Copies of this chain bind each other. A is one copy, B any other.
């Protein structure tokens, strides 16, 4: 592989000139420049980014550590991150790591990334690495939390208002007449999930309803675990009117459990979901859900990070709260889009169920 020295030799100039041509960092006589460019083309020279990184003390690479890219929320978040990065500098990129919500793995990932000298890190913290992260930002190192805040760690954060969004969708359930509302809660020690439970409690409280611990079922944060938890909910006697699922995995599990039990949503039990899906409009029941601006969250995370990286801004963490959208579809029993069709739909569903 050709080096800058080879190019210099072939063009009959010094390495400094070659470097300056490549980086447009000082005036070079047009004719010289052309000779250099020609040599670069002839030799198929490609600048060595590693040597460059060593010299400049920056890599042009950031770390992106999320729970699971296979979850559409994180996938969209990452797409937003990539989009923003590309816009700012096409030579910038990111190393992705999935933690599966495991704190030990999160820590390992970050250690490796730090050794690779990433310029910054966007993280959806799994919870459990407070001291480690606190230490990290105090170096200081550019770090942005996405989706979740970490109490005691004063880093930039981009998230949504999980409390109020949850309050809204549980209110919606209440408005539709549901009273016994179960909560299918991901067992994750993170702010977003806790906040969603808080919103649930607040909505119940506003409505003068008691908080019933027996209606709160926790689940591991994978679909298989959520299916099990969903079964537990369906075994509650009497059957709850509705279930509020705190993230996409919980929703998938709940729907699967409902289907396996040959029950019908929303007739037998309503489901409200945190997190929307791209296919929510294409299949049945159409999910009533809180949609997060995942892509925009990614973009904002990058902006915050670049900001930290550039000016070596070292002040307090800034918290960005983006707004969510409640998409009222049919899984809670609000068949708004089917004019006058509610009774027929119910009937159809009954027939459907009786066929099982």
* A70 contacts the other chain (CB 8 A): yes
**Residue contact A94 to B91, C-beta cutoff 8 Å:** no
Interface residues of A in 34-56 (CB under 8 A from B): 46-51, 53-54
* A218 contacts the other chain (CB 8 A): no
**Residue contact B277 to A255, C-beta cutoff 8 Å:** no
Complex CA distance for A23 and B128, rounded to whole angstroms: 30
Which residues of B have CB within 8 Å of A72? 70
Complex CA distance for A279 and B277, rounded to whole angstroms: 10
Contacts A49-B117, A115-B91: A355 and B351 contacting too (C-beta < 8 A)?
no
**Residue contact B356 to A352, C-beta cutoff 8 Å:** no
Contacts A259-B281, A278-B223, A284-B284: A348 and B349 contacting too (C-beta < 8 A)?
yes
**Residue contact A46 to B278, C-beta cutoff 8 Å:** no
**Residue contact A79 to B98, C-beta cutoff 8 Å:** yes
Contact of A116 among B50, B255, B278 (CB under 8 A): B50
Which residues of B have CB within 8 Å of A75? 69-70, 75
28 contacts between A and B (CB under 8 A): A46-B111, A48-B115, A49-B115, A50-B50, A54-B54, A60-B116, A61-B95, A68-B79, A69-B75, A70-B75, A70-B76, A75-B75, A79-B98, A82-B96, A82-B98, A93-B96, A95-B96, A255-B283, A283-B284, A284-B285, A341-B355, A343-B355, A344-B351, A344-B352, A344-B354, A344-B355, A347-B355, A348-B351
Among A115, A282, A285, A345, chain B packs the most CB atoms within 10 A around the CB of A282
Kindly state the interface size class of chain A when it binds its partner.
35 or more
* A131 contacts the other chain (CB 8 A): no
Among A51, A82, A278, A343, chain B packs the most CB atoms within 10 A around the CB of A278
Contact of A347 among B59, B112, B285, B351 (CB under 8 A): B351
**Residue contact B116 to A49, C-beta cutoff 8 Å:** yes
Contact mask for chain A residues 108-139; partner B; CB cutoff 8 A; 1 contact, 0 none: 10011111110000000000000000000000
Which residues of B have CB within 8 Å of A255? 279, 282-283
**Residue contact A256 to B281, C-beta cutoff 8 Å:** yes
**Residue contact B93 to A94, C-beta cutoff 8 Å:** no
Which residues of B have CB within 8 Å of A61? 95, 116
- In the complex, how many angstroms separate the beta carbon of A323 from the nearest chain B beta carbon? 21
* A326 contacts the other chain (CB 8 A): no
Contacts A75-B70, A283-B255, A284-B284: A338 and B351 contacting too (C-beta < 8 A)?
no
* A177 contacts the other chain (CB 8 A): no
Which residues of B have CB within 8 Å of A117? 48-50
Closest to A280 in B: B283
